[in-house]
Structure formats: C-alpha cells, structure tokens
Amino acid sequence: MNFNLSEEQLMIQQAARDFAQNELLPGVIERDTHQKFPTEQVKKMGEMGFMGMMVDPKYGGAGMDSIAYVLAIEEISKVDASAAVVMSVNNSLVCAGIEKFCNEEQKQKYLVPLATGEAIGAFALSEPEAGSDATSQSTTAVDMGDHYMLNGTKNWITNGGTAKYYVVIAQTDVEKKHKGINAFIVERDWDGFEIGPKEDKLGIRGSDTHSLLFTDVKVPKENRIGEDGFGFSFAMAVLNGGRIGIASQALGIASGAYELALKYAQVRKAFKKEIIHHQAIAFKLADMHVNIMAARLLCYKAAVEKDEGKDISESGAMAKLYSSQVAMDTTIEAVQIHGGYGYVKEYHVERMMRDAKITQIYEGTSEIQKIVISRSITNK
C-alpha cells in the first residue's frame, strides 16, 4: 500500500491546517465554554469544499479521495473536534449515503445543497432505547400509499438543531425485523417535526446535539432511500464509511494534544532542566508518537480500501477502535505533561481530553467495534 501523499492531498492538508489555525483556533475555547455552534466557520468550510469533499463535482462536491478526507479531518480535529464532527456527519453519513444510494432526482434536490455546504445534514439512527442495538427501532414509518406516516423519537442527533435535511431510519414492518426498516430524507420544516432541546455535553460542546420528535409527519414516498426494506443495510453501509471519519477525528485530537505536549515539554523547566529531559516525560511522548502513527496508518488503510471499493466494515472498525483509544490515552497524558496548566482551559489539552471520550462512544461504541471485528475474523 503506497502512502506517499500526492500534491493535491498535501495541498488539502495544508489548506485544512491553515484554516484550523486561522479560523478555528481563535474562538475555540469560547465556543466550548458556551456550547456555541461554529456557524461562520462551517459556512467557510462549505466554501472550501470541505462539506462535500468526496462528492462528485457534478453534484457540487470537491471530488477528493478518502485519504484527502482523512487528512482534512485530522487537521481540523487537531484544533476543533466539534467543527470536525459537523463535517464528518455531513460528509460521511449524509452526502456519501445520498450519493451512493439515492436516485438522480433525490441527488439533485438534496445532495447539491448539502455538498456545497448551503445546507447542513443530520443522520438519525439512535433512539432513547436503541443505540448499540440499532435494529430495535421504535420509530415507525407506516406505509399509507402515496406517503409514509412517521412517528417516534430520535436521540443524540449531531447537527440536530442546525440541519435542514435529516436522514431518518424507521421501522415499517416489524415482522421483518431489520429487513423491514427504511431510511428517509426528512425536511426540517415539515409539519409534526419538532427539535428537542440542545444536550449539555462533556465534550465536543461546539457541536449541536438534539433529540428529534416526529408526530404524524407525512413523508412522501419519493423520499424513501432505495427499495422497501433497505434502510438497515443502508445505515450499516453508511456507518462503515462514517467510522473512518470518526477515526480521523480521534487521530486529530490525539495528534493535536501530542503537538502541544511536545512543545510544552521542550520549554517547561523543572529541577533545572526542560521536562522533556526527564525520561518519564520523554517516554510518554515516545509512546504517543508511535501510537499516533499506528492510528494514522489504520485510518489510511481503511481510506484506501474504501476508494478501492472493498468491504471496509472491518478496516473502518479497526481504525475507529484503535484511534479512539489512542485519542483517550494521548490526551490524558498530554494533560499530565502540562501539570496544573493542563487542567485549565487556556492550554487546550483539558478540552481535548473531554472531546476524545466521545470517539469511543458514537458511530458504534468500542464494544460494538469489537463485535464487528470479531464477527469479521470469525467469518473469514
């Protein structure tokens, strides 16, 4: 596998790095403190082509490959993991699913505004009683002939309060279990669709997480994605790619914390020498460096396999499982290296530690990734 970056990929990486430093860094602590969504910054990300990075230019996308996507998410997550999840959901869960599985009419209507960043998308699978156990959907979409009647509640939906279009998963035929599930594109202003209050979170506080309530929402038949009963396969296929985005987010959080810890260790003195010259600190940095590289290689491998059209359920899960652990371990040690300074907001690493935790929970917990990986190796 060749991991030499092309000129175009290096250009994207640099553009994302500059954007993160110039546009995201200045307000990141304030957005975290006040749970403020990065509205202006997301608008600029749209203008830069970051909201539909892998979408075909004929639908308004940037037409990049998955490695470029990993690079951009890593750079943005180094500075602001909240902005990164807005981007990841829009790219991997919403745009990718619509581009791969929707018909031309649906693409023209929904993909074009989503890929250009004119509209933000959300992906609604989880429910109050169905998170990991995603086939136990209680939200129902009853077939009424020319439309479906949607009822139920979705929980924890990223971009929930800011999205214009929502990909919603619901049960149509309970007898058929997961084969009776459908996916729909639902518009924000449809009657009966209500957005619940914003969640007050530990981390990724700049992102916008809400429950969604559907009461007799009429969803036109033409808004169903794929054939009747395709919804669960659709969700799983989309999540396989999404997990590369979250793995890259975790990688970025880890590498951002590592860079700050390295710089700090080179200047902070204790016992008459820079703390990097205390082996206990140098070894922590060595461990971080190795783990981050291993995580990066797993992300690249999954990205390359995705672009080759391979089944990425295992490689995506491996990248997410490992990178999220590295994000957690690295940020905890980055706080430790900063001593008391690591415990206050000004030095960023405490936020990174809080942000890291979610990468072990959403888009499938670490335990779920192990289920996916163990089933995959058992079936080989």
Residues in contact with ligand FAD by the rule CB under 6 A: 89, 123-126, 131-133, 156-158, 201, 204, 209, 358, 361-365, 367-368
How many amino acids of this chain bind ligand CAA (CB under 6 A)?
22
Question: For residue 127, which phi and psi values (nearest 5 degrees)?
Answer: -135, 170
Among 17, 44, 109, 178, binds ligand CAA (CB under 6 A): 178
Question: How many angstroms separate the most distant Cα atoms in the chain?
Answer: 78
The smaller minimum CB distance to ligand CAA, of residues 48 and 236, is found at 236
Choosing among ligand FAD, ligand CAA, none, which partner's interface includes residue 40 (Cβ < 5 to 8 Å by kind)? none
Per CB under 6 A, does 313 bind ligand CAA?
A: yes
Q: Are 212 and 160 in contact (CB under 8 A)?
A: yes
Among 82, 91, 116, 158, binds ligand CAA (CB under 6 A): 158
Rounded to whole angstroms, the Cα distance separating 227 from 171 reads: 14
CA R_g for the chain: 21
Per CB under 6 A, does 181 bind ligand CAA?
A: no
The smaller minimum CB distance to ligand CAA, of residues 127 and 333, is found at 127
- Beta-carbon contacts of residue 119 (< 8 Å; ≥ 6 apart): 110, 113, 163, 164, 165
Calculate the CA dihedral of residues 140, 151, 364, 246 and round it to 10 degrees: 130
Choosing among ligand CAA, ligand FAD, none, which partner's interface includes residue 313 (Cβ < 5 to 8 Å by kind)? ligand CAA
Give the number of other CB atoms < 10 A from CB of residue 262. 16
Choosing among ligand CAA, ligand FAD, none, which partner's interface includes residue 180 (Cβ < 5 to 8 Å by kind)? none
* 363 in active site: yes
Q: Are 126 and 155 in contact (CB under 8 A)?
A: yes
Task: State the minimum distance, in angstroms, from the CB of residue 362 to ligand CAA.
Answer: 3
Task: State the minimum distance, in angstroms, from the CB of residue 243 to ligand FAD.
Answer: 11
- Structure token digits, residue 218: 């009429």
Give 241-286 as a DSSP string. Answer: HHHHHHHHHHHHHHHHHHHHHHHHHHH-EETTEEGGGSHHHHHHHH
Task: State the minimum distance, in angstroms, from the CB of residue 35 to ligand CAA.
Answer: 16
Task: State the minimum distance, in angstroms, from the CB of residue 51 to ligand FAD.
Answer: 16
Query: Under the phi-then-psi rule, with left for phi > 0, alpha for psi from -120 to 50, and beta for the rest, what region is 60?
Result: left
Rounded to whole angstroms, the Cα distance separating 374 from 319 reads: 14
Identify which of 375, 250, 252 has the alpha carbon closest to the alpha carbon of residue 320: 250
CA atoms within 13 A on the CB side of 205: 19
Task: State the minimum distance, in angstroms, from the CB of residue 318 to ligand CAA.
Answer: 12
Task: State the minimum distance, in angstroms, from the CB of residue 121 to ligand FAD.
Answer: 10
Rounded to whole angstroms, the Cα distance separating 380 from 375 reads: 9
Per CB under 6 A, does 206 bind ligand CAA?
A: no
Rounded to whole angstroms, the Cα distance separating 72 from 20 reads: 10
Per CB under 6 A, does 9 bind ligand CAA?
A: no
DSSP state of 119: S
Among 64, 85, 217, 302, binds ligand CAA (CB under 6 A): 85
Among 135, 151, 336, 366, binds ligand CAA (CB under 6 A): 135
| Residue 123, strand partner residues | 167
Choosing among ligand FAD, ligand CAA, none, which partner's interface includes residue 240 (Cβ < 5 to 8 Å by kind)? ligand CAA
Of 75, 305, 333, 363, the catalytic one is 363
Choosing among ligand FAD, ligand CAA, none, which partner's interface includes residue 306 (Cβ < 5 to 8 Å by kind)? none
Near ligand CAA by CB under 6 A, which window of 66-74, 132-140, 251-259, 325-333? 132-140
The interface mask with ligand CAA, positions 35-74, x = CB under 6 A, is ----------------------------------------
Rounded to whole angstroms, the Cα distance separating 335 from 329 reads: 10
Where along the sequence are the contacts to ligand CAA (CB under 6 A)? 85, 89, 123, 125-126, 132, 134-135, 158, 178, 232, 236-237, 239-240, 313, 362-364, 368, 371-372
Report, as residue numbers or ranges, the catalytic residues. Answer: 363
